[in-house]
A and B are shown apart, each in its own frame.
Chain A
Amino acid sequence: MLARRLIPCLDVRDGVVVKGVKFRNHEIIGDIVPLAKRYAEAGADELVFYDITASSDQRVVDKSWVSKIAEVIDIPFCVAGGIKSIEQAGLILEMGADKISVNSPALSSPDLITELYNTFGQQCVVIGIDSFYSEENNRYEVYQFTGDETRTTKTQWQTLDWIKEVQQRGAGEIVLNCMNQDGVRKGYDIQQLAEVRGSCQVPLIASGGAGEMVHFKDVFLKADVDGALAASVFHKSIIDIQELKTYLREQRIPMR
């Protein structure tokens, strides 16, 4: 049976792993390569590296760390952040990444998704979506440039519409980051993820809010996501990956 995936996310800024709360106030967690290796050995099913400075700084970021990761780890990994062109994506895939994830540049230029699909195949193309629940408008709204608080802006897109659009354009997987929950460890946004799941025919990865083991159980059983991404609970050793897998297996959730 296809296992559900546990995916530690490493936010990268200037070549080190950082973590902020609600996308702000980033603190340094450690060096990329040893952390990547540690997670692979600890039983992570996949890793995501978000270069959170890239899109907002409008510069091409040094990605030489990608091949260093590829040299040492034997599980799949995805690289996100500042990938604005086919050439940049191709370089990262050549360095050994299995997938590339595009967020802000896909919103600026949706054709990029189709071009990535045509060039590298659907399996490489992950679309990251930062979604914020607006109490005022009572709806989920897509945000852009969330790596830099001074440039973070609300887009014209409602989340469900953008979910459908990116699939039509060739997305192979969607990572939905629920901004209201990010970094506060009070649980995934089950309601939103379940709603999105209904419109998502490609693998869906939940992001934002993991704090306890029960949160993982809930997101797999109640929102039927394919994978759960988390950062601080793993970085700060609040949850041990093997213990979490044992617990989830007991809940009859298939784990590797």
Chain B
Amino acid sequence: MAVKAATANKDVTIINTGCANISSVKFALQRLGAVVTVSKDPKEIASAKRLILPGVGAAPAAMRSIEKRGLINVIKQLQQPVLGVCLGMQIMVNSSEENDLGNDKNTPCLDLMPGRVNRLQVGTRRLPHMGWNQIQKTSNSPIFDGIDNGTYFYFVHSFAVTQYENTIATCDYGEQFSAAIQHNNFIGVQFHPERSSEAGAVVLRNFMSL
């Protein structure tokens, strides 16, 4: 019974990185019955049951903001489940091609796992990649329990984690890129589960049972 009580724990802490739109993630979790805390306090983050690393905007601004809040080492040391969303996923890897306009150096990211963020190579297609697109699972992760291949999720981005060994789902838009990645307790999704209707709710519910 104790085990059941522990897995039924609905606490989710959203890491307040100072640069992300947190409301929609918070509301989505609350609709699923989560008890949501938004925090930038290192102690609170370190002791959370599970965490969301949100992100909207650009990688260099996000990394500056996280560094300014003194959260880089706290995040690196997390052992509990962490779900990175969109830019929050991208900064989980080693580095990103995205930088401030006029700066062509790579942006070092959190390095929670290997991996590299590149601008999508889409040919004549439009960027940003904006709208509903399908994913294909490339390994079995509990985050996609109940999700079939070909399920649509909502994407908005111009950069993506290039497909590699930590990719657990891909998406196709001119090229195959990582729709989701995982390394131990760290999971990242490029799409927005909070804006992906019922499929997104399934992913968030799966995360809440980790």
Contacts and interface: CB of A to CB of B under 8 A. Distances in A.
Whether both chains belong to one complex is answered with: yes
Interface of A: 1-5, 40, 45-46, 67, 70-72, 74-76, 93-96, 98, 118, 120-124, 172-173, 200-204, 226-227, 256
A172 B130 contact: yes
B31 interface: yes
Interface in B127-148: 127-134
A222 B174 CA distance: 21
A45 B187 CA distance: 26
Contact of A1 (B134, B154, B196): B134
B131 A5 contact: yes
B157 A123 contact: yes
Interface string B65-86: 0000000000000000000000
Contacts of B56: 93, 120-121, 123-124
Contacts of B24: 70, 96, 98
Contacts of B194: 74
A45 B132 contact: yes
Contacts of A94: 21-23
Contacts of B195: 74-76, 98
Contacts of A3: 131-133, 152
Interface string B170-189: 00110000000000000000
A74 B201 contact: yes
Interface string B94-135: 000000010000000000000000000000001111111110
Please name the 9 residue pairs, one residue from A and one from B, whose CB atoms are nearest each other, closest first: A96-B23, A121-B57, A256-B132, A256-B152, A123-B156, A3-B132, A96-B24, A76-B195, A2-B133
Contacts of A200: 126
Contact of B126 (A40, A72, A203): A203
B36 to A, nearest CB: 12
A218 to B, nearest CB: 20
B6 to A, nearest CB: 28
B131 A2 contact: yes
19 contacts: A2-B129, A40-B197, A45-B132, A70-B23, A75-B154, A75-B197, A76-B154, A93-B56, A94-B21, A94-B23, A95-B23, A96-B21, A96-B24, A98-B21, A98-B192, A123-B158, A226-B130, A227-B131, A256-B152
A2 B132 contact: yes
B21 A76 contact: no
Contacts of B173: 2
A70 B156 CA distance: 17
A120 B57 contact: yes
A152 to B, nearest CB: 30
Contact of A45 (B57, B131, B158, B201): B131
B126 A226 contact: yes
A74 B197 contact: yes
Contacts of B132: 2-3, 5, 45, 256
Nearest to B154: A76
A20 to B, nearest CB: 28
